Every structure is written in C-alpha cells, then in structure tokens.
Amino acid sequence: MRISLYFDFQNLCTNFYLYKKGGVDQNMYRRIRDLRNDHDMTQKELAKILGMSQTGYSKYETGENDIPTEILIKLSNIYDVSIDYLLDQTDSKKRHK
C-alpha cells in the first residue's frame, strides 16, 4: 500500500509540474514578452534597464529561469502594471498604491 501511495504522489507531482509549465506559467512568460513588445523594447534594451545581460533576461521570457521578486517589482514599475498582472493572476493592469 505504501509503495502504491508513493507512486500516486509522484504522478500527482509530475502532472502538476507539467501543468504549470504548459499552463499558467506560459501565460505569464508570454505576458512579459508582450508587454516588452508593446513598449517597443528589445530584450537587450530592457536587460540594460534591469542591470542584467540579454541572455539572462531572455531566460525569464522563455520560462527557463524563474523571475526574482526584485525583477518583478522593476517590471511592474517600468510597465506601470500590477505584479498580479505580470503573474497572470488578473487581467486588470491597475496597480494598487
């Protein structure tokens, strides 16, 4: 019974990971890419503003690396949108001050 529960748990974790990579997270990465494009900025230009390399920033847009809180705050300020909007938790761009 224990072994069966262990494998059920492993399958659940694997399915959750695959869902996150193919679902909500992908929308978030697409959202930050679209915001950059809407502001007519290249990855290189935005990376410079954020104080990082273009390659490092690119990994945020592709989902290869998680976006640190500090970068989310900077992106929120640059685009004047809420962090919830960046994280695809709402469709409202309005920031609460």
Q: Which pLDDT score is estimated for 26?
A: 78
Burial class (CB in 10 A: 0-12, 13-18, 19+), 80: exposed
> Using 50, 70 and 90 to split pLDDT, how confident is the model at 38?
very high
Q: Which pLDDT score is estimated for 94?
A: 82
Cα–Cα distance measured from residue 32 to residue 50, given in angstroms and rounded to the nearest whole number:
14
Q: Which pLDDT score is estimated for 28?
A: 87
CA distance readout (Å), 2 to 7, 13, 14, 34: 9, 17, 18, 46
pLDDT digits (tens, 9 = 90+) for 67-78: 999 999 999 999
* Token duo for residue 44: 């290189």
Q: Which pLDDT score is estimated for 18?
A: 42
Residues in CB range of 16: below 8 A, 6 or more apart: none
Q: Which pLDDT score is estimated for 25?
A: 60
Q: Which pLDDT score is estimated for 69?
A: 94
